[in-house]
Chain A
Amino acid sequence: MQPFRVHTGLVAPLDRANVDTDAIIPKQFLKSIKRSGFGPNLFDAWRYTDRGEPGMDPATRRPNPDFVLNQARYRGASILLARQNFGCGSSREHAPWALADFGFRALIAPSYADIFFNNCFKNGLLPIVLAEREVDRLFADVAVFPGYTLTIDLERQSVATADGSLTYGFEVDPFRKRCLLNGWDDIGLTLQHADEIRTFEARRLHDQPWLA
């Protein structure tokens, strides 16, 4: 996994609450057996005016000029500013894969759906929770200043504007933070405890043989 330490990037605002995983990556694209290549179909139904199907060449699609990610000023954005309950819906990891494949490294919103939130960390995508009021302020500033960028410092747990005029702190689970900072793979970490797992398992299956 790619480590996340300090990231400075262009911010794109998605001003809708309850953006669900079907909106993030419509289900016709879930048939792939790979983890990559979902970026071109991120927010497909909103991003294009034609109906997307797997295998279409993005160059031949009809982009919806009204959709925020199609606007020139947000091209190359790597931080997505969103509203509450972002990522609700399914457990499919295709949603964070699509966001990451598109080029997002971090999300900022007042709240996220649980499973989606977890899945982000496992894919090197940092979902930052800020207060409603702080998110409102960022939405207002993004709208006013073209080229609005933010710097996210995971070690210091801060989100700041380039000139330092605005800095917000955020909370992050210490374990998740360590994994992201180091780019650690969860499985390798867990397997360090293989003996404990084996002991636990043996006792459990002995006490409740019907679980085998």
Chain B
Amino acid sequence: MSTRTLYDKLWESHIVREEGDGTALIYVDRHLVHEVTSPQAYEGLRLAGRKPWRVGSIVATADHNTPTTHWDEGIRDPISRTQVETLDANIAAFGAKAYFPFRDRRQGIVHVIGPESGATLPGMTVVCGDSHTSTHGAFAALAFGIGTSEVEHVLATQCLLMKKSKSMLIRVDGTLPHGVTAKDLVLSIIGRIGTAGGTGHAIEFAGEAVRALSMESRMTMCNMAIEAGARAGMVAVDDTTIDYLKGRPFAPPADTWQRAVERWRTLASDPGAKFDTTHVFDASTIRPQVTWGTSPEMVVSIEDRVPDPDRERNAERREGIARALEYMGLTPNVPVTDIRIDKVFIGSCTNSRIEDLREAAGVVRGRRVAGSVKLAMVVPGSGLVKAQAEAEGLDRTFRDAGFEWREPGCSMCLAMNDDRLEPGERCASTSNRNFEGRQGAGGRTHLVSPSMAAAAAIAGHFVDVRRLY
């Protein structure tokens, strides 16, 4: 048999039927649902007199709109409340395998609770009406975001009509230097290949440096595959994957565990498998990264300076740089370490898992947030992450340093709730998007790793976290 990539294997094992033109009907194993992109899909289902095809595939939670303080007061914003209540009503009417509603102790960001509950398993197709569904690819799942029409399509048919993407291998050799994280790695990859670099591709992250990463870090990488333009990112199964899954609530029970593991072990690209595109990186050269612009590809290392548009020869790019610098309120050629910040956000589906919080707490411990920083906040990715962090005393570490310790949710990643930047405010953020207005109209976002965000909070400006260790 010919050699196949991991993506080939995942794709082929989900084909229900193929149309002549390359379009295939692809079966969906896991459907994650949240309050923002599902109401119109359920409305469509109801109007057509249809029912969910397989209720057992659905795992739902409320995350985008939920507040991160004063949970006892409920959701004050009436529009957000309507969305969350609409989800409550839809799940009550149509059912789900699991629902973690607002204020449930297992509630959290949909891309955090899927893996932590074991609802995301190797070999699955995982979809959600959210682009960062690529996160789940860390488990050798084919995971991608879909629009609301597709949410309705999956609800009604358990399938999606799609065409196969091209395959891209991103191989990272070597070892990441101390203090350099998966976030830095993926940001520097995006800086190199660009936000359209992965368009039309499914990316497999592989190589020595990726094998050495924890599941949390692999999730951070796959989470940002979408920022490189790819719809899906994935990592092959190994012991790290299997150890992570063992004992999770929705992982296979003891009687099928061995069989499942045997099958999962086949979920890797065959030696010599062909990819349409290959990029190779050397982990040992990666330094901590900070974005300076309004797209994740606008990124430099902490040792660099803000770019100068006048040095860019391509007119369109020059204009893009100039426009981004204007929005960001930055002067060309200024060292990144001179950029002062107003707020710090540690959270989002990119970096709000327990390992991220440990990493940030390690930097913060015994230090104080700079007086010039108006707000430094930590928003755990889920109720379970929060409980774990509290059991380890991380909440105390953060609070003692002057951070706010919040309830779980998407929070200031996209500022649909009350957590947002005011116009002109500058934020060190562990999230995944620095688009104009993403964290609040006029807000200025710099994407960084959790330890770099923590270091910036302490210093009041960006600093090389490697100096603080």
Contacts and interface: CB of A to CB of B under 8 A. Distances in A.
Interface of A: 17-18, 20, 22-23, 26-28, 30-35, 45, 51, 54, 84-85, 88-93, 96, 111, 113-115, 118-119, 122-123, 173-175, 186-187, 189-191, 193-194, 196-197, 200-201, 204, 208-212
Given A93-B149, A174-B21, A196-B17, A190 B229 contact: no
Contacts of B320: 17-18
A211 B79 contact: no
B153 A22 contact: no
B359 interface: no
B287 interface: no
Given A30-B36, A173-B163, A115 B29 contact: no
Most chain A CB within 10 A, of B54, B86, B145, B161, is at B161
Contacts, number: 168
Contacts of B40: 33-35, 93
A175 B19 contact: yes
29 contacts: A17-B316, A20-B436, A22-B436, A27-B438, A31-B80, A31-B82, A31-B83, A32-B79, A34-B39, A35-B148, A45-B436, A54-B79, A89-B433, A91-B37, A92-B36, A93-B147, A111-B196, A114-B229, A115-B146, A118-B150, A122-B149, A122-B150, A174-B21, A187-B48, A190-B153, A190-B156, A191-B156, A208-B263, A211-B121
Given A45-B441, A201-B158, A27 B86 contact: no
A197 B27 contact: yes
A60 B348 CA distance: 36
Nearest to B415: A27
Contact of A90 (B131, B157, B195): B131
A158 B182 CA distance: 46
A88, A111, A119, A194 — most chain B CB neighbours (10 Å): A88
B199 interface: yes
B401 to A, nearest CB: 30
Contacts of A22: 433, 435-438
Interface of B: 16-17, 19, 21, 23, 25, 27, 29, 36-37, 39-40, 43, 48, 50, 53-54, 56, 65, 77, 79-80, 82-83, 86, 121, 123-124, 129-131, 133, 145-150, 152-153, 156-159, 161, 163, 195-196, 199-200, 229, 231, 251-253, 256, 260, 263, 295, 316, 320, 414-416, 433, 435-438, 441
A175 B145 CA distance: 21
B441 to A, nearest CB: 6
Contact of A113 (B19, B50, B229, B260): B229
B131 A210 contact: no
B159 A114 contact: no
A91 B17 contact: no
B437 A26 contact: yes
B195 A88 contact: yes
A92 B147 contact: yes
B147 A119 contact: yes
A35 B437 CA distance: 23
